[in-house]
Amino acid sequence: MTDIPAILEDIAAAMAQETERGRVADYIPELSKVDPSRFGIAVATGDGRVVSAGDAALPFSIQSVSKVFTLSLALGRLGDACWARVGREPSGDPFNSIVQLEADDGIPRNPLINAGAIVVSDILLAERTPEEAVSAILGFVRQAAEDDGIDFDGAVATSESDTGYRNRALAHFMRAAGNLHHDPEETLAVYFRQCAIAMSCEQLAKAGRMFAFAGHTGPGSAELITPARARRVNSLMMTCGHYDGSGEFAFEVGLPGKSGVGGGILAIAPGKASIAVWSPGLNAVGNSRLGTMALELLARKTGWSVFGGM
């Protein structure tokens, strides 16, 4: 039996020794103010337990990790018709590339880069106001995490909007190409707020259980998404979840995962656990430096890599 509490304590102790912690995102002041010495990790297993270490109860800005929840909702609304508007291939370009979008006629490479996630937000906006779409996203995440206290951070959302010129460029280009069905400002009003959702590692690990347990929060519990949808989101996390570091993450960690510039990573060990880590310092490709290291250690100590081995 794997001793998860002891493993997490060991990992947190090892991370506390790290002096090179990466660079905290500074494109908005709210993120640049976060203490780089923070580190938290939480593991939610199928028996309903959540084991954690470090700063696992502190909320952080989940940023692009939100994209896996919105994608799940969009697939529930539109089904396979989503794939006419967004692809399923790794981009090999930075998460906010405009050049690629123009070459691809306004169809983003995948739903986990910004342009793709903006299309997904647009799908969630159909027949709704931005407020209703944001409520639907929050309702879904709260239900998955069994925690009604989860919300978005208004100051982060405002700053995202105030500085979101590149996201506006992507959205307007896609509107011109016919791939956004609403006023770009309305779609972005959803996107900026979903990025600003604040969650702790414990909350995020619980929210991710649906991907680990074929759509359920645990074996025998109610189905939140279909097993097929969970499998598809996992496959996209594996191939596209870590920006330009997705190949390296699959190589070193071997788990589907999604990172965000707030320093959070959600990783999935199918059938075994949903894992959330957070450390605000980022590596050169924008993924949490210590978060990635911690997941490498965890995968090695548990043998959870989907590719087998230790």
Q: Which residues bind ligand GLU (CB under 6 A)?
A: 63-64, 95-96, 114, 160, 167, 195, 260-261
Catalytic residue at 43? no
**Single-letter residue type at 15:** M
Residue 254 or 260: the one with the smaller Cβ distance to ligand GLU is 260
Is 67 assigned a catalytic role?
A: yes
Using DSSP's 3-state secondary structure scheme, residue 75 falls into helix
Looking at the Cβ atoms of 86 and 297, the one nearer to ligand GLU is: 86
Backbone angles phi, psi at 302, to 5 degrees: -100, -20
Nearest distance from C-beta of residue 65 to ligand GLU, angstroms: 7
Task: Report the nearest approach of ligand GLU to the CB of residue 253 (Å).
Answer: 18
**Least separation in angstroms between CB 167 and ligand GLU:** 5
- Which residue in the list 24, 34, 52, 67 is annotated as catalytic? 67
Active site (annotated) includes residue 165: no
In a 13 Å sphere around the CA of 136, the CA atoms on its Cβ side amount to 21
Kindly name the residue from 119, 191, 206, 253 that is annotated as catalytic.
191
Identify whether 285 is a catalytic site residue: no
Active-site residue (options: 52, 61, 64, 161):
64
Q: Does the annotation count 191 as an active-site position?
A: yes
Q: Which residues of 18-53 are buried (b: 16+ CB within 10 A; e: fewer)?
A: beebbebbeebebbeebebebbbbbbbbbeeebbbb
Q: Please identify, using beta-carbon distances, which residue of 75 and 261 lies nearer to ligand GLU.
A: 261
Residue whose CB is less far from ligand GLU, 258 or 272: 258
Structure tokens at 195: 């990025």
Cα separation of the two ends of the chain: 15
CB of 207: closest distance to ligand GLU in angstroms? 16
CB proximity list for 299: less than 8 A, separation 6 or greater = 253, 254, 255, 269, 305
Of the candidates 65, 119, 134, 261, the residue annotated as catalytic is: 261
Chain-centre distance for alpha carbon 11: 22
Residues that are catalytic? 64, 67, 191, 243, 261
